[in-house]
Amino acid sequence: MNSKPTTDPVCGMKLGEGAAKDFLLYEGREYYFCSVGCRAEFERHPEDYAERAQSKTE
């Protein structure tokens, strides 16, 4: 997957360039994941993970 270096918001793993296995768009923001499982987990609790991801980037 063509992705920039980022952090998986579910498991907290650092993902190097192109290392993401999945992604989704939530409330206008892209989130990248190390696995299908982390994406599915994000979809089950999107507010929790989006909030945590935002607080880490602020």
Partner 1 sequence: MCRFLCYIGPEILLSDLLYSSENSLILQSYKSKERKEPLNGDGFGVGWYTPEIGPTPCVFRSLTPAWNNQNLQRLSEHVTSSCFFAHVRAASPGMRVGEDNCHPFQCGPYLWMHNGTIEGFWQIRRRLRASLPDHLYNSIEGTTDSEHAFAVFLNLIGDIDRKHSTSELGQTLVKTVAHLEAWTAETKSTAPSYYNFAVTDGHSVAAIRYVSDPKVEPASLHYAAGRKYECANGVCQLVDCDAGEQSVVIASERLSEDNSHWTRVAPNHLLTVSKDLDVNVELMAIERRDSAFDLLAEWRQDSRAMSN
**One residue of 4, 14, 29, 44 binding partner 1 per CB under 8 A:** 44
**One residue of 14, 16, 29, 36 binding partner 1 per CB under 8 A:** 36
Q: How far is the CB of 51 from partner 1 (least distance, A)?
A: 10
> 33: which residues sit within 8 A by CB, 6+ positions away?
8, 9, 10, 20, 21, 22, 23, 24, 39, 42
Rounded Cα gap, residues 52 and 29, in angstroms: 13
Interface residues with partner 1 (CB under 8 A) are: 8, 10-13, 34-38, 40-41, 44-45, 48
